């Protein structure tokens, strides 16, 4: 409940002196009659009229209070919010080649990439996000979806070694572009993460970048891996790590920069997990979804209810005073 003219409510303060005056007058008493003793009067039974003698005054005060509230124009308010969100379609293209098992990240590159990507996905509420994985070939792990629960599950299932080894950056980017090809979103983005040099696939990385640019798709590229050498695990036939060897980290940063530049994106290098998280946070800031929120309020006048209540109280006071508590002049 709100009031259009709340200052009028200050008139309610006149009720206090009216009550004080009424109490003062009652204590002063009215006309007096001299009698020899009041014992007989004290023993006289008290009727209903005795207990109702103050009700007319209370009803009069209630009438006045209700009229004051009505003049203040009480209103009920309906608050409405209309949200217009313009989301972004994003495809995460993640390298799952054997080199992503290098342990310069904790516990390894691919686990760190999945963890940070999961955090990024959780912050993109309302956007459609898809997953593409690539090594020697590429495939779609998840089409574009707003179902974050399913997306997180599919992201957690990404593993290295499930497809032919190698690094087909061009194929991975082309598959991601294909997921966005029929998108009608105004903003389309690919985040391509790899730790190697393109050495497989039928599509050259720059050819895929040109296709992305023609379709208005922005590509952010991320190179993961420490500079210099990194520890790589060596597995036996049962998949157990038998030793760790130091091998040189090779990332074709020139190609990665050219892909990003051709599509209006940016290239980032992550040498540890914290740096990778900072990169995703930066991309998250750069690619904000546009959300427009319109708030409006509808007011309904409620003064009529108080006016009717005041009239009822006034009529009740008149009936009570004129019929039940009628006084002899």
Give per-residue pLDDT as tens, 229-272.
999 999 888 878 889 999 999 999 999 999 999 999 999 999 99
**What's the CA angle centered on 173, arms 171 and 178, to 5 degrees?**
90
Residue 303 CA to residue 9 CA, distance in Å, equals 13
pLDDT for 55: 84
In angstroms, the CA 51 to CA 47 distance is: 7
* Residue matched to tokens 């108080």: 306
Return the pLDDT at 30.
Answer: 54
Is the predicted pLDDT of residue 124 greater than 60, yes or no?
yes
Kindly tell me if the per-residue pLDDT of 184 is higher than 90: no
- The three-class DSSP label of residue 128 is strand
pLDDT, residue 253, reads 95
pLDDT of 224 strictly over 80? yes
Structure confidence at residue 87 as a pLDDT band (50, 70, 90): confident
**List of residues 6+ apart from 269 with CB closer than 8 A:** 222, 223, 251, 253, 275
31-77 residue pLDDT tens: 555 655 556 555 656 666 666 777 888 888 899 998 988 888 888 87
Report how far residue 172's alpha carbon sits from residue 71's, in angstroms, rounded to the nearest whole number: 71
Return the percentage of the chain with pLDDT > 90, whole number.
52
pLDDT at residue 161 greater than cutoff 90? no
Domains of the chain: 2-79+300-324 (no CATH), 88-288 (3.40.50.410)
Res 172: pLDDT: 97
pLDDT of residue 48: 64
The rounded distance, in Å, linking the Cα atoms of 101 and 98 is 6
pLDDT confidence tier of residue 290, bands split at 50, 70 and 90: low
First CA to last CA across the chain, in angstroms?
45
Tokens matching residue 239:
């998949």
Predicted pLDDT of residue 54: 79
> Which secondary-structure segment (H or E) carries 255?
helix 253-263
Task: Report the distance separating Cα 242 and Cα 265, nearest Å.
Answer: 41
Q: Count CB atoms within 10 A of the CB of residue 88.
A: 20
pLDDT > 70 fraction of the chain, expressed in percent and rounded:
87
Q: What is the mean pLDDT of residues 283-294?
A: 73
- Cα–Cα distance, 52 to 13 (Å, whole number): 25
């Amino acid at each position: 409940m709100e009031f259009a003219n709340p200052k009028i409510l200050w008139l309610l303060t006149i009720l206090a002196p009216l009550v004080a005056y009424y109490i003062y007058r009652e204590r002063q008493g009215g006309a007096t009659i001299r009698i020899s003793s009041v014992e007989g009067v004290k023993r006289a039974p008290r009727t209903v009229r005795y207990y109702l003698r103050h009700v007319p005054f209370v009803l009069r005060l209630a009438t006045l209070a209700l009229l004051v509230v009505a003049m203040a124009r009480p209103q009920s308010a309906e608050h409405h919010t209309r949200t217009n969100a313009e989301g972004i379609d994003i495809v995460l293209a993640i390298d799952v080649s054997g080199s992503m098992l290098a342990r310069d990240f904790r516990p390894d590159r691919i686990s760190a990439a999945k963890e940070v990507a999961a955090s990024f996905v959780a912050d993109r509420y309302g956007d459609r996000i898809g997953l593409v994985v690539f090594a020697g070939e590429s495939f779609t792990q998840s089409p574009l979806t707003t179902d974050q629960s399913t997306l997180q599950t599919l992201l957690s299932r990404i593993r290295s070694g499930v497809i032919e080894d190698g690094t087909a950056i061009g194929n991975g980017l082309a598959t991601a572009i294909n997921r966005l090809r029929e998108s009608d979103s105004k903003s389309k983005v690919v985040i391509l993460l790899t730790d190697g040099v393109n050495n497989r696939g039928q599509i050259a990385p720059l050819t895929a970048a040109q296709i992305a640019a023609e379709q208005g798709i922005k590509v952010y590229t991320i190179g993961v891996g420490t500079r210099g050498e990194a520890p790589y695990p060596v597995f036996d036939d049962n998949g157990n790590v038998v030793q760790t060897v130091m091998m040189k980290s090779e990332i074709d940063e020139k190609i990665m920069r050219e892909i990003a530049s051709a599509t209006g994106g940016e290239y980032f290098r992550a040498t540890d997990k914290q740096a990778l998280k900072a990169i995703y946070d930066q991309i998250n800031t750069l690619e904000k979804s546009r959300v427009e929120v319109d708030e409006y309020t509808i007011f309904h006048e409620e003064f009529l209810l108080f006016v009717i209540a005041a009239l009822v109280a006034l009529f009740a006071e008149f009936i009570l005073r004129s019929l039940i508590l009628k006084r002899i002049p």
